[in-house]
Amino acid sequence: MLEDIKKVLVDALDIDENLITPDARLKEDLDIDSLAAVELSLELETEFDVQIEDEELEKLVTVQDIIDIIKEKQA
């Protein structure tokens, strides 16, 4: 799952793959602002066939949070 998330982050937002770890913080470590977060959410929804609500998006702080929400929605 982490590798799939990395691919989306690298392809959609041009983030250095070496910075992407489960505990990397989206805003502080990966420089994902609110506009990039919306773009990321759309890419994740397409890639993983899930729906991420705005309220859920606001709660995502780390890469692990993304992994957790996708796993939860795919269950």
User: Rounded to an integer, what is the distance from CA 54 to the centroid of its chain?
Assistant: 13
Asked if 48 contacts 70 with a C-beta cutoff of 8 angstroms, the reply is: yes
Catalytic: 4?
no
Residue 38 dihedral angles phi and psi, to the nearest 5°: -65, -45
User: Which is catalytic among the residues 23, 31, 33, 49?
Assistant: 33
Side chain identity, residue 72: E
Active-site positions?
33
